[in-house]
Each structure stands twice: as C-alpha cells, then as structure tokens.
Amino acid sequence: MRHTIIAVILAVAFLAPAALAQCGDCPAAKKAACGSASGSAGDSLGPAGTTYAKLPGFNKKVQLGDGRYFTYRFNKRPQVGTLSLIVKVYDKSGRQVKPYRVTAQYDMPSMKGAHDSGPQALRLNRLGDYLLPVSIVMRGEWEVKLVFSDKEGNPAYRGSFTFKI
C-alpha cells in the first residue's frame, strides 16, 4: 500500500508539469503536431483571415444553399458544466438530412486559446442530429464556430455564434 502511494505521488510530480504546460510553451513543430497551431488567433478550422457568418439565435433557420438550412441549440440552458450542441440540417421540403460533415471549435473570445477546444467533428446520432459535447469551465462570453463541409471536405458554410454564462 505504501509503495503504491509513493508511486502515485512520483507519477504526479513528474507528469503534472508536462500535462499542465500551455501551448505557448511548445515549439511551433509540436503545436502543429498536436493541432494547436492556429490560423488566426486561435482558429484551427480555417486558414488565416477566414471569416464566419454571424448566426442568429438558437432554433432560427440558417440558409445553407440549395434550399437546405440548419438550426442549432443546446440541450439545456448554457451553464458551467457539459452541454450538448445539437445541429439539425433540413432539405427544402423540411425533412431532416445529413449531407455534410460538421466541425466545430469553441473558446472564450476574451481569453483566446486558454479554453480552446480545437477543431472537433460533430457526431451523428440515429435521429440524424449532429451532436457535440461542449465543456464550459467558467462564466463569461463563449464563441462557437461551425464549419459545414461536403463529403470531400470542401467548406460549404462557416458561421459562428456567441453566448454568455
């Protein structure tokens, strides 16, 4: 038992500094390898200078083109903890479809990079909803960037929204 406790203490003492290191401490090659290299101030979803359309509020229709549109919302009122972002894509007749790969990235605009999620693919559930767990670690303003890409990976739409906790 005593040896186990000592082993745990030593493991924490040696591994914690590496785990807690911020990407600002990393050389550029390591940032690129871990996906932390950013195109424009914390944006890993696109090249430098990428612009995002300002999205309307939750559950509002956002046109994608070809008559398709999407809506987005959280599974509950935004608060500190884990939320699920739910994105639904519809065709022009109002049927839910899944023609895109959707990628998202979230962070606090006032603390760029401090709570950056990095680019994450939204997963499809059996109902055809695109889902992303969003980990909110503190109060303040948060920004979510969404990129809709076709099956070949070409971006078809980029949008972002902010919310406050």
CATH superfamily, domain 39-164, is Macroglobulin (MG2) domain (2.60.40.1930)
Q: With b meaning 16 or more CB within 10 Å and e meaning fewer, what string describes 32-61?
A: eeeebebeeebbbbbeeeeebeebeeeeee
- Between these two residues, 104 and 31, which has the higher pLDDT value? 104
Q: Can you give the pTM of this predicted structure?
A: 0.71
Domain ranges, ordered by start, for the chain: 1-37, 39-164
pLDDT score of 37 more than 70: no
Cα distance between residue 77 and residue 126, in whole Å: 24
What 3-state class would DSSP assign to 19? helix
**Paired tokens of 27:** 């050389």
Compute the Cα dihedral for 50, 53, 54, 59 and give only its sign: negative
pLDDT (0 to 100) of residue 114: 87
pLDDT bin (cut points 50, 70, 90) of residue 88 is: very high
Give the Cα-Cα-Cα angle 63, 156, 45 (nearest 5 degrees): 115
pLDDT bin (cut points 50, 70, 90) of residue 65 is: confident
- Between these two residues, 54 and 24, which has the higher pLDDT value? 54
Cα distance between residue 47 and residue 40, in whole Å: 7
pLDDT score of 55 more than 80: yes
**Exposed/middle/buried for 70, CB within 10 Å: 0-12, 13-18, 19+?**
buried
Please give the average per-residue pLDDT across 81-94, as a whole number: 95
Please give the average per-residue pLDDT across 134-151, as a whole number: 94
CA gyration radius, the chain: 19
Q: What is the average pLDDT value for the chain, to the nearest integer? A: 80
